[in-house]
Chains A and B, each alone.
Chain A
Amino acid sequence: MIVKNAIEDNIKYDIVLMIMVFGLLVFGSVMVMSAGSFIAAEKFNNDSYFTINQTKNAMIAFFALLAGMLLNYKIYNTKYLMYAGLGLTVLALMYLLISNHSESVKGAKRWIFGFQPSEVAKNMIVFYLAFSLNRKRNELKQFMRGYVYHMVILSSIVGMVLLQPAFSTSMMIFAIGYTMLYISGMKLKHLMSSMILIIPIIIIIALIQPYRLARVTTFLEPEKDTSGKGWQVEQSLIGFGNGGLTGVGLGESRQKEFYLPEPHNDFIFSIIGDELGFAGTILLIAAYVIIMIRGMRIASRAPDYYGFILASGITMTVVIYSIFNMSITLGLVPPTGLPLPMVSYGGTSLIMTMFSMGVLLNISYKSKSQVPIDD
């Protein structure tokens, strides 16, 4: 009986999502091994440097997933936990902000104790907004107490990440938060009105830093730039194109031999395209689509408004990241550094995404349709 109950209990989790998540976790580790070995050998004299790290991360991520699955998602809907979480995130961001701007080191420092606060912020904002939107759900239609209030919270986090500087991540956080505000049911009028203000600001920010402008211009005229960002995209496309229908085979891509920057991270999708071909890339897209469908299904069946918002936010995080990463590697948007969720190398991102997926599964477990009628 206990066994039967356990099985029934398990069945309550969204099994399709679970398979997809596990599948991507394993697939990602394999691809990191394939894509990163060359660079790891060149940089660290150890071709399994990234593989070992990523396996460690994947194990931690697995436990994070379990934790997310097993803990009732409603505990995140607590005032003190959320304040503390947001507070710590803000502190970590502030710390990096100050240290980045006090030292004259070129390029931004993005790590603190092996963690990337900007990656944490990306997930934290989902949880916090879900909490906050749920708490103020009756005032959401009000301009000040609903819309402006949440926009201020969102913008301040985005602003801090932006000042890291981590332009692309900040834009992603903004997109995710904005999506959540949209889903929450705020008035379209409110949402649209501020866009008129926000878009020019984004453009100005993009233009302030000359290298960002350069990226945009190379994006517009890729042939003018043979060695920089345009080259990256070109190389990424060569990788995809060479793969053809079925690819050159796992581990066989040459694009990871310094032709692509970060082949194990930002451009891992191109390596997948080269090694596994169109078949591989389409299946990967399918995996993300299934995750999106299952995520939205879980959201729509969530037992309460909080669960709905949280599940939507988590799902949209994965969706938005995957869409942008893939578009970057295909040269559809200007190149910036974004990981492919659950596949790319990178501990913080992987662990946080997996935890979120666990929470999503937990919501699916609490799903109304799954709850026995007589319960």
Chain B
Amino acid sequence: MVRKGMSLKNSGSNVERKHYSRLIFLFTLSMIAYCFIALKLYNTQITMHDHYSKRYTEQSKKKVTVFAPKGNIYDRKYSKLAENIGINYAFGVNTRVVKNKTDLARRVSFITGREKKKYSDILFSKSGFVWVDNRLTEKEKGDIYSCLTNEEKSAASFKSTANRIYPQNKLAGQIIGYTDIDGKGLTGIEKEFENQLNGTDGWELVHQDGRLNKYYGTEISKKEPVPGNSVVLTIDDNYQRIAEDELAKAVTNWSSNKGVVVVMEPNTGEILAMASYPDFDPNRPGEFDAFNRKNKAITDVYEPGSTFKGISAAILFEEGKVEEHEIFFCSNEGYEIGKSKIKDSHKNENEYMSFNDVIGQSSNVGTLQAMLRVDKNRHFEYLRDFGFGNRTEIELTGEVNGHLIKLRDWSLTTQPTVSFGQGITVTPLQLITAYCAIANGGTLLKPMIVKGVIDRNNRIVSKNEPVKIRRVISEKTSERVRELLRYAVVNGTGSNADIEGLNVAGKTGTSQKVENGKYSKTSYDASFIGMVPYDDPRLVCLVMLDSPKGCIYGGTVSAPVFRNIISRIYDLDRSKLVVNSIKSTISVEVPDLTGMKVTEAEKVLKSKNIRYKVAKGAEIVRSQSKQPFSVMDGNEQLVLFGEETNQVKQNILLTTPEVMNLPVREAVRLLYASGIEPVVIGSGNVTGRSAVYEYGEGTDRLCSLFCSNNYSVKLKKRTENKL
């Protein structure tokens, strides 16, 4: 019809027939094109429908990893040292693409409210991909994305990260270590116990758009993650705080390069506090030098100096080579060995001294004379047995050996100098571990930093028991050395360490530092190591300050630090140090009874002399009023809750403690004690508490604590995760 119309001969028109044929030619050409398009459409839409529709579905779905909540790190009394709160986002960008780095830093800083300089430092730090910020909330992530230029968007990357926080900031930071933005542990407990702390990640199949934005809440299918286990440290956060506080004061006061304090429980080898200064905050590891991040109690060695005389005395007593009252001639001229002459560091008023005074006045000449009576081989063996030259195998990263000269390399001067702590290097932890053997009656214990691992329902996964490595000296020797060290405090150089009523025993040390292969005339390590009380030591504490200015002597610099730490611990926790009173009623460790039959649990409790009460109708212990590992007073009562009946639930709900206005740590502890897991939002004092939710099999209970300083954390998200 159309063609007919077009081919009409139009007489009287000045449109020639040729034009129509050209129009028809164009028509044909266009029809061919349209047909070709239609064919291609048929091919794509009908023939290949299945192929494309599969790709369509695949690309719009995305398997997203759901991070398993990482386990927490607790101190021995369940104060949180590390925990995860919700999910953060990290923003990274390839700096090569960013044209105006300063401006990008300004924009990001405007959104996050964090310092602009920090961002520009990162952006200018290297050419290539950098993570700019890893603590963004979901909203900040969105805002940052929209403030980017198109070019930047193409080079930008976002990912979700676990929001690992260290609620006590610097406290025990070097022990805990820190993680990278993926939550991978880099040092400390975070690294050593990574496998335990990490759970098994789950996944979610979610809808995704072409820019790879995910749309949550549209899960097609999902697999729940398995949460990680928590690590309970032997550290007591109060002791740790005291140690860090006193150490920081001393290091600042004496303008020292660094300082180390270790507090150990000699009977178990548990480390109660381990501080080294300068320290760092694991919440912001990047802002500190590597030196700050090191746990210098295990990574750095020093010559122990006179503190080593305690070890020498133990060897001498054990070998029966010396008596306390034996007189030594400690010439102020020094003692000649071969070509060299060894002198005391200060002039002795009385050159004839008893062995007690040799140690008490810290005479090098006297000590070496005594030590020369011991066979070189035996001397070396003892040092080996005390653990020198070998790692203690503590469950922390970065531990070093220290240097104990091999026996065949011992020169004429080695034995005498080692006797007073020169020519040997030790880590502070090695030395205090050896002293623990002296304190506990002669057994070398492996130092313990982790009490055990518990799962999410606070059941014990694994528990560390004290590991006896070997007996080094006899009970008797141990007692004699302790008395000798007591003498050194009462009548010798360690007088500054004494605390009235606490019977401190200990030894000072002032050792010249080796600088450029020579003993320095100006830098010294001032140290003190002591135990308290001397007759039945409950605590051993080492204080070491590197290069104090103004005064170099351990007795003046380090002994007062020791004294301050021990007095403050004593003020805080008298039971720890008052030993003469009825031993059996104090500090019973709570066993893990969950999962046991009530009858079995009763047996355990009876054997441990723990007072207990079983909730009505319980057959299997589902929860207990105090956490495993925690220490309870002999007068306290442990309540066992069984299969949860409504009545029991109600009882528990009624026992929910009042936590308003309490410091958050206090509140957390109270809630834990009544079997409720608090989700802390913010820090500071508690300003509100949510109702108690139940989840899991009805055995786990959860409530939220709102605190005065809120992090912008989405409570809902977190709660949902748990529920």
**Which residues of A are interface residues toward B (Cβ below 8 A)?**
38, 137, 179, 182-185, 235, 237-245, 254-255, 257-260, 273, 277-278, 281-282, 285, 288-289, 292-293, 296-297, 299-305, 308, 312, 316, 319, 323, 326-327, 330, 332, 368-369
Contact = CB atoms under 8 A, between A and B. Distances in A.
B410 interface: no
Given A285-B38, A305-B13, A185 B19 contact: yes
B45 A273 contact: yes
B6 A292 contact: no
B467 interface: no
Contact of B30 (A254, A255, A292, A297): A292
B37 interface: yes
Contacts of A326: 37
Contacts of B55: 238, 241
B22 A185 contact: yes
18 contacts: A137-B14, A182-B26, A185-B18, A240-B44, A241-B51, A242-B49, A244-B46, A245-B45, A245-B46, A278-B46, A285-B41, A293-B27, A299-B23, A300-B5, A301-B5, A308-B15, A327-B37, A332-B40
Contacts of A183: 19, 22-23, 26
A128 to B, nearest CB: 19
Contacts of A254: 56, 60, 209
A258 B44 contact: no
B216 interface: no
A260 B60 CA distance: 13
Given A183-B26, A257-B209, A300-B23, 19 more contacts: A183-B19, A239-B52, A241-B53, A242-B52, A242-B56, A244-B45, A244-B53, A245-B45, A259-B59, A292-B27, A293-B27, A299-B23, A300-B10, A301-B5, A301-B10, A304-B14, A319-B30, A323-B34, A327-B33
A240 B45 contact: yes
Contact of B209 (A184, A258, A312): A258
B417 to A, nearest CB: 69
B121 to A, nearest CB: 28
Nearest to B27: A296
B307 to A, nearest CB: 65
Nearest to A292: B30
Nearest to A235: B210
A273 B40 CA distance: 12
B48 interface: yes
Residue from A183, A296, A319, A332 with most neighbouring chain B CB atoms (10 Å): A296
A370 to B, nearest CB: 12
A238 B37 contact: no
B210 A238 contact: no
Size range of the chain B interface in the assembly: 35 or more
A249 B443 CA distance: 80
Chain B at the A interface: mostly helix, strand, loop or mixed?
A: helix
Nearest to B58: A238
A136 to B, nearest CB: 13
A258 B211 contact: yes
B571 interface: no
A136 B682 CA distance: 84
B36 to A, nearest CB: 7
**8 A-B pairs with least C-beta separation:** A241-B52, A258-B210, A259-B210, A257-B209, A242-B56, A278-B45, A300-B6, A258-B211
A368 B41 CA distance: 39
A273 B56 CA distance: 13
B51 A297 contact: no
A304 B22 contact: no
Contacts of B10: 300-301, 368
Contacts of B36: 332
A11 to B, nearest CB: 17
B14 A296 contact: no
A273 B20 CA distance: 34
Given A185-B19, A323-B34, A238 B45 contact: no
A302 B41 contact: no
Nearest to A368: B10
Given A242-B52, A243-B45, A260-B210, A305 B34 contact: no
A305 B2 contact: no
Contacts of B40: 330, 332
Interface string B501-537: 0000000000000000000000000000000000000
Given A259-B209, A292-B30, A281 B14 contact: no
Contacts of B59: 238, 259
B288 interface: no
Contact of A368 (B13, B38, B45, B51): B13
A185 B56 CA distance: 49
B23 A281 contact: no
A278 B41 contact: yes
A362 to B, nearest CB: 18
Given A277-B45, A278-B42, A323 B33 contact: yes
A304 B19 CA distance: 12
Contact of A241 (B37, B45, B210): B45
Interface in B1-17: 2, 5-6, 8, 10, 13-16
Nearest to B8: A300
A332 B31 CA distance: 16
Nearest to B5: A297
Contacts of A238: 52, 55-56, 59
B213 interface: yes
Nearest to A311: B23
Nearest to A300: B6
A257 B210 contact: yes
Nearest to A274: B56
A64 to B, nearest CB: 25
A174 B222 CA distance: 56
Nearest to B45: A278
Nearest to A298: B5
A241 B48 contact: yes
A111 to B, nearest CB: 18
B13 A304 contact: yes
A105 B37 CA distance: 37
B37 A332 contact: yes
Interface string B141-160: 00000000000000000000
Contacts of B52: 237-242
A238 B2 CA distance: 37
Contacts of A241: 44-45, 48-49, 51-53, 55-56
Nearest to A45: B146
A307 B626 CA distance: 98
Contacts of B33: 323, 327
Nearest to A290: B2
B53 A285 contact: no
Interface string B38-82: 101110111011011101100110000000000000000000000
B2 A296 contact: yes
A302 B14 CA distance: 11
Contacts of A330: 37, 40-41, 44
A237 B44 contact: yes
A297 B2 contact: yes
A323 B37 contact: yes
A17 B326 CA distance: 126
A263 B655 CA distance: 61
Nearest to B35: A285
Contacts of B44: 237, 240-241, 273, 330
B26 A273 contact: no
A296 B53 contact: no
B22 to A, nearest CB: 5
